[in-house]
Amino acid sequence: MQGKVLCSALRKGLFSPEGQLLWRLQAGRNQLRMASSHPVAAVCQMTSTPNKEANFTACQHLVKQAKDGGASMVFLPEGFDYIGSSREETLQLSESLQGDTISRYSQLAKELNVWLSLGGFHERGHDWENDRRIYNSHVIINEQGEIVAVYRKGHLFDVELAGKGVSLKESAFTIPGPSLVPPVQTPVGKVGLGICYDLRFPELSLALQRQGAEILTYPSAFTVATGTAHWEVLLRARAIETQCFVLAAAQVGAHHAKRSSYGHALAVDPWGVVLGDCGGTEGGVAMVEMNLQRLQDTRRDMPVQQHRREREYYSGLD
């Protein structure tokens, strides 16, 4: 419930002075309560458009609000930089990791002394001049403004759902990433990186868990149709089967005339309990206390990983 309260307060804060006051009072109480115990993560929800400057302003506001609430790491969704209205626009707006967008976020992290998970950056491919294709890249920046990890999305969303209005072919302009990256040690715990459609592949989450992940993160821009049917179910399943926290920043609402996202940025604990939900209408932040003792207790009481059989057992039917 804590996450839902803060999301509601921040949504009001975007539009009214009384909402901002509610946010500050609630955040202050939580900051005092949390500061002496466990680190705090902030899971963000926003509505990106093709306007990169407006998107940065919105993200900057969310990051500052999260920092004021005591967060030591802030998680932004897939497409935080922009969501284009066509293939051509998506490619034209893309940048390299050395471009202006990542530089601005590095500076923001350094100014606020906060870690950032930039959940889906349109990164120009290594052979951009010849093939004009991009990666969908999850970038982790530390409090010094340094890039400490880059994961390039491995599973691309090529889906046609007849009758549900979903028709996307990510591979038309995106290069699949070559590999997973090891979990990253952060102030809130050891974070394993995924992006959106990766959520549907439990092999990825189990591989990250075996490498020590305590938190799995799936920054996303789920469609309304797939989000309504599968979003919370999949996130809770990944948490339960890996006994990890799961943090999923999300896009919400209409990005342009052709595309809308489901929302419901979510935080889930290792038992599968939803700790925060930003709803399905507006931007906001869920503030989550990262009590890693809860993870250890869950793994101790139900030692699933100890009960897992040797890999040959599961490949015996191949």
Write down the pLDDT at residue 7: 65
Q: What is the tens place of the pLDDT at every residue in 278-292? A: 999 999 999 999 999
φ, ψ for residue 265, nearest 5 deg: -50, 135
Is residue 62 within 8 Å of 80, Cβ to Cβ?
A: no
**What is the reported pTM?**
0.89
* HSE-CB for 194 with a 13 A CA cutoff: 28
CATH number 3.90.330.10 is the correct assignment for the domain at 2-314? no
Amino acid 96: pLDDT = 97
Rounded Cα gap, residues 268 and 270, in angstroms: 7
The answer to whether 44 is a known catalytic residue is no
Catalytic residue among 7, 44, 59, 196: 196
Distance from CA of residue 13 to its chain's centroid?
Answer: 22
Q: Over the stretch 4-24, which tens digit does the pLDDT of each residue have?
A: 445 644 444 443 333 333 333
State yes or no: is 196 an active-site residue: yes
Determine whether 179 is exposed, middle or buried from the number of CB atoms within 10 Å of its CB (0-12, 13-18, 19+): exposed
**Alpha helices of the chain — where are they, by DSSP H?**
2-13, 17-35, 52-68, 87-92, 100-112, 128-131, 202-210, 224-242, 292-301, 304-307, 311-314
SS3 assignment, position 238: helix
Q: pLDDT tier at 31 (50, 70, 90 boundaries)?
A: very low
Amino acid in position 156: L
* 2 within 8 A of 287, measured Cβ to Cβ: yes
Note the pLDDT of residue 163. 72
In the predicted model, is pLDDT for residue 265 greater than 50? yes
Check pLDDT > 70 for residue 123: yes
Q: How far is CA 161 from the centre of its chain?
A: 24
**Catalytic residue check, 153:** yes
Gyration radius (Cα) of the chain, Å: 19
Mean per-residue pLDDT of the chain = 89
Give the active site residue among 12, 78, 123, 214: 78
Mean pLDDT across 212-235: 96
User: Largest alpha-carbon pair distance within the chain?
Assistant: 62
Kindly name the residue from 12, 59, 123, 153 that is annotated as catalytic: 153
Question: Domain spans of the chain?
Answer: 2-314
- 215 sits in which H/E element: strand 215-217
Task: List the one residue out of 72, 77, 39, 35 whose CA is nearest residue 59.
Answer: 77
Residue range 211-228: average pLDDT?
96
Q: List alpha helices for 36-151, DSSP H.
A: 52-68, 87-92, 100-112, 128-131
